[in-house]
Amino acid sequence: MRLKNYSLNTINSYNHFFEKFLAHFHGKDVDSLTKEQITDFLYQECLKGMSYGYQNQLINAIKFYYEKVLGRKRDFYNIPRAKKPQKLPVVFSEEEITILLNQVKNLKHKCILFLIYSAGLRISESVNMKVADIDSTRNLVIIRGGKGKKDRTSLLSHKLLIMLREYYKEYRPKEFLFEGETGGQYSVKSIQNIFNKALASSGIKKEATVHSLRHSFATHLLERGTDLRYIQELLGHNSSKTTEIYTHITKKGMDKIASPLDNLDIQ
């Protein structure tokens, strides 16, 4: 998997699920298992009510071993699959974003959350960001090795740039844009803690995560008239279908539609 340049998260995930597979067949030569034995194992796991994501990762880990490591032909396991949930992302209004970000007083912490929202970054992309990835001459943020190992560019907010210059003078990061107290990459957990603290003090009652800032970035661009194709590029989505989910949550045009209840002469 390292030779194929898989991400560390994917490697860890596949290892975790394949260890479950090995534990189930403890004492047996997994290279000699029949398709029926593998299918039966997967079926038993499905009966436990596992989520779509769990089942998908488990099957992918097993297929990777037999097809990529052992070099066998591609195979299909005919098992009942959990239905992929169609959930709408949690999105903040622009007013809520203002309230949320105003809760953060530490300069470094502010820069982190401002960057994630203003450029629509994934949390992993923010910790991987390097000082040289801020292109102030072209007003661009360069995201290197994003999801799918793809590079892309996104927007560099003028307000953020002013803040980043102040931040750089104070913290003097050496390699990564955001570094820990002892140097090196800032941790994902620390960013989650910053966000959760800000959310708690904001009084906003939404089950949001750091990723909600990225969802809000896309939704707010759409509501302000940005073409969906440009949003797709900024987010780094392979398919426009992924980006189209924001058309289901935007309020654009909805303010021109009145609820039928409002047309009734009723108190």
Residue 194 in tokens: 């910053």
Helical pair 94-102 and 211-223, crossing angle rounded to 10 deg? 140
pLDDT at 87: 80
Q: What are the tens digits of pLDDT across the range 143-197?
A: 987 776 788 999 999 999 999 999 999 999 999 999 998 888 999 999 999 999 9
Catalytic residue, from 109, 215, 220, 237: name it: 237
C-beta separation of 88 from 158 below 8 A: no
CATH architecture of 94-248: Orthogonal Bundle (1.10)
- Local confidence band at 261 (pLDDT 50, 70, 90 cut-offs): low
Among 122, 186, 215, 220, which one carries the catalytic annotation? Answer: 122
Torsion of CA 147, 151, 152, 158, to 10 degrees: 100
Write 145-151 long-range contacts (CB < 8 A, 24+): 146/122, 146/236, 147/122, 147/236, 148/236, 148/238, 149/5, 149/7, 150/236
Location of structure tokens 């927007």: 155
Which of 108, 130, 152, 211 is labelled catalytic? 211
Which one has a higher pLDDT value, 235 or 2?
A: 235
Catalytic residue among 77, 147, 152, 168: 147
pLDDT beyond 70 at 81: no
Write the DSSP string, 10-36: HHHHHHHHHHHHHHHTTTS-GGG--HH
Q: pLDDT by residue (tens digit) across 57-66?
A: 999 999 999 9
State yes or no: is 122 an active-site residue. yes
Active-site pick, 110, 214, 215, 220: 214
Q: Are 152 and 129 in contact (CB under 8 A)?
A: no
Distance CA 228, CA 215 (A): 13
pLDDT tens digits for range 96-118: 999 999 999 999 999 999 999 99
- Is 214 catalytic? The answer is yes
What pLDDT, on a 0 to 100 scale, did the predictor assign at position 155?
94
Active site residue 237: yes
Residue 267 has pLDDT above 70, yes or no: no
How many Cβ atoms from other residues are within 10 Å of residue 161's Cβ? 15
Contact between 196 and 103 (Cβ < 8 Å)? no
What is the domain partition of the chain in residue ranges? 8-69, 94-248
Q: What tens digit of pLDDT does each residue of 204-256 get?
A: 999 999 999 999 999 999 998 899 999 999 999 888 888 888 888 787 766 67
From 70, 74, 146, select the one nearest 59 (Cα to Cα): 74
pLDDT at 90: 94
Is 75 in contact with 67 (CB distance < 8 Å)? yes
- Tokens representing 153 are 């560019």
pLDDT in tens, 26-79: 989 999 999 999 999 988 888 787 777 888 899 999 999 999 999 999 888 777
Fold of 8-69: DNA polymerase; domain 1 (1.10.150)
Residue 129: per-residue pLDDT: 94
Kindly report the pTM of this predicted structure: 0.75
Residues 6+ apart with CB under 8 A from 20: 58
